[in-house]
Structure 1
Amino acid sequence: MEEKKITIFDVAEKAGVSKGTVDRVLHNRGEVSRKSAEKVRKAIEELNYEPNLYASLLATRKNRVIACVLPQYTPGEYWEKIHEGFKAGGELSASLNVGTAVFFYDQYDSESFREACRRMIDSKPSGVVLPPLFKNDAMEVAALLKDKEIPYVYVDTKLEDVNYFAYFGMPMYKSGYLCASLLTDRCSASQVDEVLIVRIRRDKSKQSDPTINRRAGFSDFMDANFPDAKLHTLFIDPSDPASIEATMSAFFAEHPHIAYVVMFSSRIHLIAKSLAANPCPGRRVIGFDDLEGNIDAVRQGHVSILITQHTADQSRLAVSTLTDYILMHKAPANRDCYMHMDILTRLNIENY
């Protein structure tokens, strides 16, 4: 016997509401109480009801837009890949009558972030893709989106709030733990006496610290396995290459035999020239993300390992996930959608 096709009338009956209420929930239009909306969504899930997507699109002309608040970037930077993924997701969503919009800001200026978010909120988006670089400000934005019942998806990193719709990115703590394990692989405690951690000098308000959980994972591994190792931290300014060379040269002059170097952001290539100019036999250097500059540094032997992901997939999948929810109230199978971590060396980087 053919399985009975579930209809909107079945959903209405199970939820104890009218067909019109179900229709308004499906199409995101008209006033529906939160209680009724929850009943409808529960009935849809229990009955495994699949609305006719194209009929739904034809039934309403409501403008739907997924917004992204994104740091400004120069060609070749990490955020260019995030933008490319967002645009790729937008090409598919556009065919389903869901548009996209990007609101750029200066990643070193918290006020610029707040202004971009104000413009984003004023645009009344249907969903938001949010890399939360400025923690306190991003939490305020998240609370506002929650009050307006606008679903938001974190990419790159996430905040520990309870209302985000989904997250696409590396498991940050685990990536730091993995980094420490790779850096010290097959080393005795006496071998790993000093480690250099190179960090990016960021905003003056010190809100922006996207690698904090990665550093925590790294530190926990080191504390457990190499408790006597001294961890040096050196800050560099990515806008001033000359100062990077001077800062790194001064450090290596004082610590010529330091054999373990790590950078938790995506810009290990910024110190490649300094590493080449200040060699140390057997030095291990680990960075993150498959930027072309980082890959070149691995090819040339200045960087030992890159821990990478398919960066653009974060934002591409964020857009498709929001599109599914906006059109069909379909939630992702997992709230935290962790990207797989790839380990690249000179031996396998050409095939990545």
Structure 2
Amino acid sequence: MDKSRRTTIQDIAKFVNVSIGTVDRVIHNRGNVSPDKKKKILEAIKILNFNPNFLASTLALGKQRHICSLLPCPASKNSFWQLPKKGVEQTAVEYKDFGITYTAFDYDLNKESSFIEKTSAVLDANPDGVILAPLFREESLLFIKKLEEKQIPYVFIDSFLPEQKNLSYIGPDLKGGGYVAAKLMSSILKPSDDILIVNLIKSVKNSNLDIIEKGFREYFGSTANERNIKSITIPSIDERDINIELTKYYLKNLDTKGVFVTNSKASLIAKYHNIHELPVKMIGFDLLEENIKEMKNGTIDYLISQRPFFQGSMAVKALFHFFIYKKIPSKLQLVPLDIIIKETVDYYMDFKEPTVGNFLSKN
């Protein structure tokens, strides 16, 4: 450890491999810590020459920091957006003793008016920091302008807008995700097989899905293989609407052998293929219950996980360090992309996301 740097509570937590909340309970003698852990923490305090006065003086000021999140409303308990929201909530609870409070605001992913309405609610809450998924570009830019006028720091998760003054972006490499999907698709198709890219969203231009598609096409553009790659946008997740659009497409494109879905809704397309017994290879994003079910049924070949819980947790951590330690996080914090296949999906279903405490103690 750099002796010129002040030892922090995070250093103690990392040294002992416990959460910062556990260290804090020992420092302030709040109990609920096993004798063995307490002994190790006290030893670490001596070894690392930790002086808690800085943190104590910060807490003594009694200042609370209010974080607001503005994320799409989870459509169900198993939807993608339930996971980053849970990551934010659990980490905010972990920091509660350090003066962090949290309010969640959810917007309808299919209604720009809902996003605008919730941005006003966020501003009325007078937050100290905001965690934002800017899926409506123009509306997000207007909101960001207001945040900057009020000097409110904000963190992007899952998607981003370039050339903004966000404190950080925490999420996947969007273009890289598309590139990885294309490389996987290439490995399970013949060089002449046609591919369909499906965007299940109201408007691709008002999202980052065009970046994902660009990465996908870029991979094939860099190879000598010649194949037909088409894309369609279905502005609905209603089964009837999807069936109509896919039927119209397949009647004219019988040679399609691979489908890439650019968001977490791959299961909706897989169900259509299953019903109509179409031998189509499929790749999509995220370990949602319905996607896992279709993978086990053999209708989805690869899922690319973007660690949504982890994104939410990291966003809170970035704001906390900015508030308390005046530490400016990296502008770009990319999460790993995990490639899941049928044979490994049970492992990932059983795998527990790192607990907030363990994650914080390792970073």
TM bracket (short chain): 0.7 to 0.9
| Paired residues of 1:258 and 1:280 also in contact (CA < 8 A) | no
What pairs up with 1:112-261 in 2 under 5 angstroms? Answer: 112-185=114-187, 189=191, 191-192=192-193, 194-202=194-202, 208-225=206-223, 228-261=226-259
CA distance in 1, matches of 2:5, 2:178: 49
The yes-or-no answer on 1:274 pairing with 2:272 is yes
Match of 2:60 in 1: 58
Q: Which structure has the larger Rg over C-alpha atoms?
A: 1
Distance (whole Å) between structure 2 residues aligned to residue 51 and residue 135 of structure 1: 44
Give how far 1:160 is off. Answer: 0.5
Q: Is the 8 A contact 2:188 2:281 kept in 1?
A: no
The answer for unaligned runs of 5 or more in structure 2 is 7-50, 349-363
Letter in 2 for 1:314: Q
Tell me the residue number matched to 1:301.
298
What CA distance in whole angstroms lies between the structure 2 residues aligned with 1:267 and 1:329? 39
Q: 1:247 to 1:97 in 2, by over 3 A?
A: same
Q: Is the 8 A contact 1:308 1:342 kept in 2?
A: yes
Q: Supply the distance in 2 between the matched residues of 1:202 and 1:5 (Cα, whole angstroms).
A: 50
Q: Let me know the Cα RMSD of the aligned residues.
A: 2.3
Judge conservation of contact 2:108–2:115 (CA < 8 Å) in 1.
yes
In the alignment, does 2:68 pair up with 1:70? no
Query: How far off is 1:235 after superposition?
Result: 2.9
Q: Which structure 1 residue ranges, 5 or more long, are not aligned?
A: 7-48
User: d(CA) in 2 for partners of 1:137 and 1:85?
Assistant: 25
Of 84-93 and 180-189, deviating more is 180-189
Whether 1:312 and 2:309 are equivalent positions in the alignment is yes
In 2, Cα distance between equivalents of 1:130 and 1:200: 21
One-letter amino acid of the structure 1 residue matched with residue 314 of structure 2: L
Instruction: Pick from 84, 89, 110 the counterpart of residue 87 of structure 1.
Output: 89
Matched, 1:103 2:105: yes
Q: Is the CA contact 2:287–2:303 (under 8 Å) kept in the aligned structure 1?
A: yes
* In 1: Cα distance, 2:116 partner to 2:135 partner: 11
Task: Report the alpha carbon displacement of residue 245 of structure 1 after superposing the two structures with TM.
Answer: 2.1
| Residue in structure 2 matched with residue 286 of structure 1 by the alignment | 283
Aligned CA distance change for structure 1 residues 155 and 146 (closer, same or farther; 3 Å): same
Conserved in 2, the CA contact under 8 Å of 1:252 and 1:278? Answer: no
Give the conservation status (yes or no) of the 8 Å contact 2:133–2:156.
yes
Q: Which amino acid aligns with 1:78?
A: F
* Matched ranges for 1:30-69 at <5 A: 52-59=54-61, 61-69=62-70
Identify if the C-alpha distance between structure 1 residues 348 and 140 changes in structure 2 by more than 3 Å, giving closer, same or farther.
Answer: same
Quote the Cα distance in structure 1 between the aligned partners of 2:225 and 2:150. Answer: 48
Q: In the alignment, residue 163 of structure 1 is paired with which amino acid?
A: K
| Matches of 2:112 and 2:5, distance apart in 1 | 52
User: Aligned pair count?
Assistant: 302
Give the TM-score of the pair, scaled to structure 2: 0.77
Residue 223 of structure 1: CA displacement? 2.1
Q: 1:344 to 1:4 in 2, by over 3 A?
A: closer
**CA–CA separation in structure 2 for the residues paired with 1:77 and 1:298:** 16
Give the letter aligned to residue 208 of structure 2. P
The one-letter amino acid of 2:187's match is D
- Return the offset for 1:238: 3.7
Deviation at 1:188, TM superposition (A): 5.5
Give the deviation of 1:53 after TM superposition.
1.5
- Given the superposition, is the C-alpha separation of residues 57 and 278 from structure 1 closer, same or farther in structure 2, using an over 3 Å criterion? same
User: CA contact under 8 A between 1:66 and 1:100: conserved in structure 2?
Assistant: yes
TM superposition outliers: structure 1 runs of 4+ over 6 Å: 3-6
Distance 2:4 2:161 in 1: 43
2:52 and 2:160 map into 1 onto residues whose CA distance is 31
Could you tell me the TM-score, scaled by structure 1's length? 0.79
How far has the Cα of 1:279 moved from its partner? 3.1
Q: Which moved more, 1:161-170 or 1:234-243?
A: 234-243
CA distance in 2, matches of 1:340, 1:51: 36
Amino acid at match of 2:244: A
| Residue identity matched to 1:201 | I
Q: Deviation per CA, 1:5-34, whole angstroms, max 9, x where unpaired?
A: 97xxxxxxxxxxxxxxxxxxxxxxxxxxxx
Distance 1:243 1:335, change over 3 A: same
Corresponding residue number in structure 1 for 2:32: none
Residue identity in the other structure for 1:53? L
